Amino acid sequence: MSTSDKHDSFRGDVYDLIELEQLLKGPHQILFEGKSPYQDVLLIETKNIRLYRNDQLVWNSMDERIYHEALVHPAFVFSEHHERVLIIGDECGLALREVLKYSDVRHVSHVSLSTESLIAAQKTPEISEMNENSFFDNRVQIVQSSIYDFLQTNQHQFDVIIANLPDPQTKQDSKLYTKEFFNKLSNLLTYCGVLVIQSASPEDDPLVFWTIDKTLQSASLHTLNYHVNVPWFGDCGFHLVAKKQLEWRVNIQNRTLSEDLHSMFTFSNRVKSVRKQAGVNTLKSPYLYQLYSTSSQEIQDSEDKKELRHLLSNSHRLLYAGGTTGNQIKILETNDVRLYLDKQLQFSSLDEQIYHEALVHPALSMVKKRDRVLIAGGGDGFAIREVLKYPDVKHIDLVDLDPLMIHMARNIPQVSSLNKRALHDKRVSVHQKDIQVFQKEQKEPYDVIIVDLPDPGDEILSRLYTVEFFSKLSKLLTEDGILVCQSHSPEYAPFVYWSIGLSLKGTGMHVRSYHTDVPSFGDWGFHLASKKQLQSLNRKVFVPCQTLHEDLSSLFVFPSKYRSVRENLQINTLSNLKLHEIYKQELRR
């Protein structure tokens, strides 16, 4: 690892920076802050409030401000007047909060699309605090009728219309994105006014995104399209719409968006290439929902439900639960302890268990003997916590270079409570040293080796993912032993992920790859390596687990799009050290 005191380059995901900036601007408590010769360390605790509708995550307090500022402020920048505003959707008042920051706003009509969500928000003091009591502002009129009744009876026009519509997953929701519906919205817009519509993700569903754009244009409207990254949801798209050509005005003053908005209006060539395929969505042919990526949505729904079950099984406050069949609302509050190393998220207490159970238990459940275990990295003690669940484990060597990590895991109550005081167990020997030095000194082999090292974000860390390093570790492995290595994301960094697997194969070991979804990080991958072929992957975990299925075989199944990159991989060796360059390229992409 690096021994430099300078951390000029950020080696993590840009989402981590966005999240950290938001956390530090909101209510938080810094539990520990320090700097070692290896990295900057920040341990922070925040309140995390989430709203679920039918067990689907609607918003998360950690990054909702990014979404709602992106939804509201560009429209106000491009509109010449802001006196009268219409908001459709936004039952929790978070977009309304942003609208009311403009002193020249005189009147806001607020039309809910989900009465149950509106009731939940009004009955939950924590949401009133988040929306800064926006519903009680005397400029706001909460409309009791449906959006369709409102469009028929309203006689006034608006300078800004904000449409926070549900995704067009169903035929009914798809009708909110038709030419006919947009025509009705256009009738409510002043000639110089601006309409903004929440859209599909241009990265995940570009055809849906451009179809909404083309449908807006079919209603004789001019559009400007943009998008923003919201960490918990990914890339979110929007359309600015007006009766006349939109022109660039002044830059925007806000908390989360770039001062220069131009970057938000830039799209990759891959996204732009789909534009010509877009059609027009009409009431006679409301086909938009058929384009919506049902497979990816089903995966996301499943992940939301899995995460919700995990949250409900741990410490939490249920702030609200209610609604009708098909529109059930839950509002949760949890404490979230997060560790950032060099501003890169290391763990979140909300879901670290998902990661560490996936890291440890496949190897520990498949190996024949578990007497001796080596953990490289993992100074937070969470991997040790999982290993200690096995009564036949006799000795664990933990090797971590950073003394601050070991200090936190042992002595900071919020961390030692999470790891169940794992570093104080008599079976654990803690070594504060470089794993490369440690492995040279060892003679007695291990039944399991767990490699939980930082991502290969620079040249020094890249050396810990070479054939040569893995070969030295394999010499410390018993003949029937198993090595497991965390290997970044097969979804977001597939070349990194599969290259690590290829480098493990370069040692002559047999490799089996698997992955799981960790909400704070996305889809995360691991590799098992052994001197003998692993015959069975359907072993059951026989120690207490909260997040793994009894049958582990599902972890080893990959979508075809994940596997498709394996033909263009590079093996990482000391003479051809490329992994850190691939890592940086994939993060930029």
Tell me which residues are annotated as active site: 452
Both structure tokens of 504 = 């493990």
Euclidean distance between CA atoms 487 and 470, whole angstroms? 13
State the Cα–Cα distance between residues 506 and 500, nearest whole angstrom: 10
The pair of three-digit structure tokens given for residue 588, joined into one six-digit string: 């930029």
Handedness of CA 307, 309, 315, 318 (dihedral sign): positive
In this structure, what token pair is assigned to residue 181? Answer: 């519906």
**Amino acid at residue number 43:** L
CA atoms within a 13 Å half-sphere pointing along the CA-CB vector of 221: 33
Q: How far apart are CA 384 and CA 388, in angstroms?
A: 6
Please compute Rg for the chain using Cα positions: 26
- What is the distance between the alpha carbons of residues 564 and 117, in angstroms, rounded to a whole number? 42
Listed in sequence order, the residues at least 6 apart from 155 whose beta carbon sits closer than 8 Å to its beta carbon are none
Handedness of CA 444, 446, 450, 451 (dihedral sign): positive
Give residue for tokens 């529109």: 327
CB 86 within 8 A of CB 161: yes
How far is Cα of residue 220 from the mean position of the Cα atoms in its chain?
Answer: 37
- CB count within 10 Å of CB 523 equals 19
Q: How many Å separate Cα 128 from the centre of its chain? A: 25
Extract the tokens encoding 122: 């009004």
The token pair at 145 is 């009728």
End-to-end alpha carbon distance in the chain: 25
Phi, psi (rounded to 5 degrees) for 111: -110, 120
